[in-house]
Copies of this chain bind each other. A is one copy, B any other.
Amino acid sequence: MAKEISKAVVKRMPRYYRYLGELLDDGVERISSKDLSKRMRVTASQIRQDLNNFGGFGQQGYGYNVKYLYDEIGKILGLDQKHNIIIVGAGNLGQALANYTKFEKLGFDIIALFDVNPSLKGKDIRGIKIHMLDELDEFCQENRVDIAALTMPKSKADETAHHLVKLGVHAIWNFAHVDLDLDDEDVVVESVHLSDSLMRLSYDIVQKRS
């Protein structure tokens, strides 16, 4: 079923999940597409259309069961499973990611950081150990690693990504300022390009001024 979902809908799913989580926290059990629409600032028809992709969890006149919808979207997003993450690059950004307790709540466990900087050797972030990069191979052989977050300079990112794939890591969360050349590899990549985001903001600023 989930295979036929368009990329645009998938992009919106995390946002639905986030809002439904907030409703749950607020103790809301049912919500109409109209109320959800107001809260999320998308049209009610868009919401109905999006959620219909998943077999439509709404009941006419009763609205959506928040907990059920939250769980179902969670399953579709793979959040009913645990994902082990390693962070390659334990600079500020890597450490910032390791400090997010939010990720754990979503089922993403950060199990190790790696760096080449000897001054970080033996240190840890919230009990998550910083290893030296030369321990990476052994670590990946001894532990299940589902996702590698690359928070390292772009010069080494591509090489490291290929090496990780060889070690059996099939998902890369890429923060390096480069598009990884992994098209032929059996791997999924999600990139967060901070400079690109800043440039889009800059474009909007110029547009607003003119």
Q: Is the interface of A mostly helix, strand, loop or mixed?
A: helix
**Contact: B188 with A201, CB < 8 Å?**
yes
A141 within 8 A of partner (CB): no
Q: How many copies does the complex hold?
A: 2
Residues of B within 8 A of A205 (CB): 78, 83, 146-147, 170-171, 188
We find that the number of chain A residues with CB closer than 8 angstroms to chain B is 59
Q: Which residues of A contact B (CB under 8 A)?
A: 2-3, 10-11, 13-15, 17-18, 40-41, 76-79, 81, 83, 91-93, 95-97, 99-100, 102-103, 106-108, 146-147, 170-171, 173, 177, 179, 183, 186, 188, 190, 192-208, 210
Query: What 7 pairs between A and B have smallest CB-CB spacing?
Result: A92-B96, A14-B196, A78-B206, A190-B201, A14-B199, A188-B204, A93-B96
Subset of 22 A-B contacts with CB under 8 Å: A3-B210, A14-B195, A17-B199, A18-B196, A40-B179, A41-B183, A78-B202, A78-B203, A78-B206, A91-B99, A92-B95, A95-B96, A102-B195, A103-B195, A103-B198, A147-B205, A170-B205, A170-B208, A171-B201, A173-B197, A188-B204, A192-B194
